[in-house]
Amino acid sequence: MDDLPEQQTGSTLARIRAALPSLLPSEQRVAEVVLARPTEVIDWSVADLAAAASTSSATTVRACQHLGFRGFQQLRLLLAKDVGAGVQPVNPDFGPGDPPEAVAAGVFATVSAVIAEGMSTVEPRALRAAADVLAGARMLLFVGNGGSSFPAQAAALRFTTAGCAVQAPQDSILQRVSARMLGGEDVCVAVSSSGSNELTVRAAEAARKAGATVIAVTGFARAPLSAVADLTLVTGTAPPVAERDVMAGPMTQLALLVALQLTTSFRRGDRAAEVMEEVWRVMAPDTRGD
């Protein structure tokens, strides 16, 4: 239960999603009912939730505890607090028969809600520690595969413009080779929405064995990637609608990585400004001049 950050208003459902994969099947059913029917759960008893999840009251209480809550009563209170603050589950209203503009509006609403919720599962102490490590690193290695390749590559480009020495190979073999060549002053940033991508986990393991600091950016608090990381930043745990769009989580992870890049730029000061000036010269020579 210590893996999750201090409770923030609006973060209850995000915390549940972040811990969901670590639960037993019977406990997962409890969590899934809460995610699907949060406003109803507020008025339920333990027995009501147990019946809806087709399990026992004891399993229901245990599921609440494994999700990071003291018990069912605390879960109910926090859900009620979220509802009182106007926090609503993401449930965009669009389907196969809707025009493109309705689908677009629904997608933008979903992305906005997912990103707005993104910080609710990030542990502030881990975030500060990650910022410190990144600012002082000799070399940064960004690793991401599948849908998580996008935020890893985009973040690598941004850190390059901050004046950092960066590697971001897309080939999985090169990722592991590069990871093995890191040292104690280097950092490997491993991005995986599921936290279970075997290629990414292997690269992170290689980086750690080489003595580098490993930062995991993932959607789940308890995952294989978190087990090999020195620091874990949990964000981008997508709501149910995002099952149809695997990019919802990675977009939130990119937002967090952008925040870390900006923090690094602020700390590097003049050096980051000099590199950005060079970037502008390359991108727009006719408008920026020499």
Please tell me the pTM assigned to this model: 0.75
- Mention every residue, 6+ apart, whose C-beta is less than 8 A from residue 148: 191, 192, 193, 197, 200, 250, 253
- Which pLDDT belongs to residue 255? 92
- Which pLDDT belongs to residue 22? 81
Same domain (yes/no): 23, 127: no
Residue 222 pLDDT > 90: no
- 181 found inside a domain: yes
Same domain (yes/no): 200, 133: yes
Residue 257 pLDDT > 80: yes
How far CA 210 is from CA of 132, 185, 194, 251, in Å, comes to: 20, 10, 24, 30
Residue 3 pLDDT > 70: no
Q: How confident is the model at residue 92 (pLDDT cuts 50, 70, 90)?
A: low
Which tokens in the block code for residue 51? 């019946």
Which tokens in the block code for residue 197? 């991508």
- Which pLDDT belongs to residue 98? 85
What residues make up the domain containing 21?
Answer: 12-84
CA dihedral 250, 96, 13, 111 (to 10 degrees): 40
- Which pLDDT belongs to residue 250? 83
Sign of CA dihedral 207, 213, 215, 216: positive
Higher pLDDT, 11 or 3: 11
Same domain (yes/no): 79, 124: no
Cα–Cα distance measured from residue 20 to residue 68, given in angstroms and rounded to the nearest whole number: 11
Which tokens in the block code for residue 140? 């940064």
How far CA 260 is from CA of 159, 176, 278, in Å, comes to: 9, 24, 21
Structurally, the chain folds into a number of domains equal to 2
How far CA 85 is from CA of 88, 101, 117, in Å, comes to: 9, 30, 14
Instruction: Tell me the mean pLDDT in the region 186-200.
Output: 95
- 99 found inside a domain: no
- 199 found inside a domain: yes
What's the farthest any 2 CA atoms get from each other in the chain?
Answer: 72
Neighbours of 19 (CB within 10 A): 26
Q: How confident is the model at residue 189 (pLDDT cuts 50, 70, 90)?
A: very high
Same domain (yes/no): 68, 131: no
Do the Cβ atoms of 17 and 237 come closer than 8 Å? yes
- Which pLDDT belongs to residue 277? 74
List, for residues 34-88, the tens digit of each pLDDT value.
988 888 999 999 999 999 999 999 999 999 999 889 999 999 998 888 776 655 5
Spacing of C-alpha 213 from chain mean position: 18
Quickly tell me which residue has 């990585």 as its tokens.
Answer: 257
Which tokens in the block code for residue 242? 């995002």
- 269 found inside a domain: yes
Same domain (yes/no): 16, 150: no
**CATH at residue 169:** 3.40.50.10490
List, for residues 225-252, the tens digit of each pLDDT value.
999 999 999 986 655 444 445 556 788 8
Same domain (yes/no): 21, 132: no
According to the per-residue pLDDT averaged within each range, which of 66-75, 114-123, 177-186, 264-273 is highest? 177-186
**CATH at residue 77:** 1.10.10.10
Which tokens in the block code for residue 204? 């992170």
> What share of residues in the chain are helix, strand, coil (percent, to 5)?
60, 10, 30
Starting at the edge strand found earlier in the chain, the sheet holding 166-167 runs 166-167, 140-144, 187-192, 213-218, 231-234
- 289 found inside a domain: no
List, for residues 97-155, the tens digit of each pLDDT value.
889 998 888 878 777 777 777 787 888 999 999 999 999 999 999 999 998 999 999 99
Cα–Cα distance measured from residue 253 to residue 146, given in angstroms and rounded to the nearest whole number: 14
Average pLDDT, the chain: 85
Same domain (yes/no): 56, 132: no
E strands in 85-169: 140-144, 166-167
Same domain (yes/no): 208, 269: yes
Same domain (yes/no): 124, 77: no
- 52 found inside a domain: yes
Do the Cβ atoms of 265 and 259 come closer than 8 Å? no
Instruction: Tell me the mean pLDDT in the region 246-260.
Output: 84
- 18 found inside a domain: yes
- 106 found inside a domain: no
